Structure 1
């Protein structure tokens, strides 16, 4: 997530120098057999972008963009990395390609600003973290970045299985030799009760897993850790864990029998939904406080004016909403051909981000209007 945020901020800061921008959004397939079809779709979207570009700008100016987009097609595959969609953003100097966790509609956008709304929607509730699956007998780890989960290739030294980790310390079903008395060489043999020995082995194993993940991954990356384990193991692992990066309120207790790419993608979606619910609750509290302080507005004309003043702290945009218009300096153009081909809500979003504000894209049935905003200060201040 951080990489996309940093690059988007860089593009927004440089838009006067790098624009116009071509932004192509498209769904991609995770399967090798669909590589050619994905590339054909991309070529069609490039042609759509060209038609818009030469209408608004010049045929000569398109040549540099065509070259950069042709280089994208040189990649072996556009998808096949766990992402459901991709975005390609091309400016005068740079080309950015990002995997998207959210599925987007195939579309091509050309304008003076980056078409940021789908990027914001993808990124706002897409966290980077580690996903740790533990059972009584084994563990596995995934790195989740930009909403895409990648299995971590753990080294042989990792406690991949309980038997490997505990070795001769295993007590379950084993006969242990324990020393008794004072005489050297005196020993007695006995079997631990099965349940007690299983519990002891599991706790020892969980401690090793916890220590290994903390030492080798959590401390160095400082990424949150999400635990995937059945309820009983969740409780035991959390009681033993010393990892401060382990999320307490976000956990997945339903473990699929087969953890293939599709199953992991569904788990990531569940985790993101849980985290999003927490964020939305915080945002609702902020809205309630802003209403009480008379810092919450929903009139688009007023939002446009306050955004230009740098007075918008948080902008909320309805998903899929489109209002024709473009910002030209401090003026609002709604009548020119360029304005009719531009989404004012995207322009406002970019402007708010430029001035250090936050932008969220929310379902239209939750927002009930095209856009609302929390102000930094009341109009009278």
Structure 2
């Protein structure tokens, strides 16, 4: 299953400082026979990474930091579970492997900190969402976008009703009502009351409500809040209604997919979920652009990179809009916020948009990656100020 890739992942990587820090990005393939080439391309990337490491840090011993890369290269099972991209980060005391739902440009970088810009572009994109597939006694969870959808882990303590309720769950061995009154109670006959009431079915219904409450709480706290992503519900109509009545998840979209999760295949799930998400995606982008326009008219927004750079030092930027798939080889002077052209070239050159994004995130701001045709500026960035 796809490890959860969210802002916490980015934050953890941004705290990893100290040379050497290795970053490897590779496009990969899900299906045979295309994926047969992935280990070969990986070997070439590791060779490039080795050369970059020796060039950047010629005095170090590099065998220990490179050994996990060689282990992955020889792991045939690893290459049978590819998605659309791969990112690996290595340094003193860590080796992080992240599979990606979007293809990435091949890169092999040795520096003094992990190179996280491609991950920023994935995590901060406005089209991502999660899907909760709900039945009366089990759940599954997916994460994706318009291009790809993959199953992710669910909190183990609510994966099934039995896991959530344990010994408190009503036994399922008996159906209907006690004392042989099931058929009468299903018809609504008065016999239900004289034969012991609706106890068994009532308890089963209460179990479902308790389970749905537990699911809502766990998904909200362990998946929605860390990711900040919208949530689409897939369930039968009656379970949709019950779950929505009790849910406290403010990221649960008002429209869902009213089908039994088991009756929908992965291709149909991706298509139907994007139909639900598309209006929300457009609404969010339009809201951001409207907010930028209003703030600009009040002197509380800018698209001038020099001003954005100095404002990140003063912690003024509340929201930063960044153009997708654009690089600007420059960096921000830490003293006065002025922009300095990059001395390095190619993959090792600093990227201004990445640095601005990291600065905004470190100060609690929001970064949104926007498609080029939706950007409100031509500079590659647009900032909305706090004050």
**Distance of aligned partners of 1:41 and 1:275 in 2 relative to their CA distance in 1, 3 Å threshold:** farther
- The offset of 1:337, in angstroms, is 2.8
Structure-1 residue corresponding to 2:385: 375
Q: Secondary structure at the match of 1:167?
A: coil
Correspondent of 2:329 among 301, 324, 330: 324
- The offset of 1:156, in angstroms, is 6.1
Structure-1 residue corresponding to 2:353: 345
Structure-2 residue corresponding to 1:213: 212
Give deviations 1:125-166, integer Å, cap 9, x for gaps. Answer: 4878661345xxx7652134687424766366899xxxx699
- The offset of 1:321, in angstroms, is 0.6
Q: CA separation in 2, counterparts of 1:343 and 1:95? A: 24
Matched, 1:307 2:312: yes
Structure-2 residue corresponding to 1:9: 11
Structure ID, larger Rg = 1
Equivalent pairs counted in the alignment come to: 346
Q: Is the 8 A contact 2:321 2:381 kept in 1?
A: yes
Q: Is the 8 A contact 2:300 2:386 kept in 1?
A: yes
Write the mapping of 1:205-354 to structure 2, written as runs, cut at 5 A. 209-215=208-214, 217-221=215-219, 222=221, 223=223, 226-229=232-235, 233=238, 236-237=241-242, 241-245=245-249, 247-253=252-258, 258-264=263-269, 273=278, 276-277=281-282, 279-327=284-332, 329-330=334-335, 332-334=339-341, 336-337=343-344, 341-354=349-362
- The offset of 1:319, in angstroms, is 0.8
Q: Secondary structure at the match of 2:43?
A: helix
Q: CA separation in 1, counterparts of 2:45 and 2:328? A: 23
Q: CA separation in 2, counterparts of 1:272 and 1:74? A: 40
Correspondent of 2:367 among 352, 356, 359: 359
Q: CA separation in 1, counterparts of 2:208 and 2:29? A: 35
Q: Secondary structure at the match of 1:67?
A: helix
Q: Is the 8 A contact 1:250 1:275 kept in 2?
A: no
Structure-1 residue corresponding to 2:228: none
Q: Secondary structure at the match of 1:337?
A: coil
Q: Which 10-residue stretch deviates more, 318-327 or 56-65?
A: 56-65
Which structure 1 segments of 5+ residues have no match?
186-200
Structure-2 residue corresponding to 1:23: 23
Q: Secondary structure at the match of 1:301?
A: helix
Q: Is the 8 A contact 1:113 1:350 kept in 2?
A: no
Q: Secondary structure at the match of 1:69?
A: helix
Task: Report the TM-score when normalising by structure 2.
Answer: 0.69
Q: Is the 8 A contact 1:117 1:361 kept in 2?
A: no
Q: CA separation in 2, counterparts of 1:78 and 1:281? A: 41
Q: CA separation in 2, counterparts of 1:79 and 1:258? A: 30
Q: CA separation in 1, counterparts of 2:111 and 2:309? A: 19
**Distance of aligned partners of 1:372 and 1:290 in 2 relative to their CA distance in 1, 3 Å threshold:** same
Q: CA separation in 1, counterparts of 2:240 and 2:93? A: 52
Task: Report the TM-score when normalising by structure 1.
Answer: 0.70
Q: CA separation in 2, counterparts of 1:141 and 1:284? A: 36
Q: CA RMSD in A?
A: 4.4
Give deviations 1:51-80, integer Å, cap 9, x for gaps. Answer: 444444437465454234234446554466
- The offset of 1:336, in angstroms, is 2.0
**Distance of aligned partners of 1:219 and 1:349 in 2 relative to their CA distance in 1, 3 Å threshold:** closer
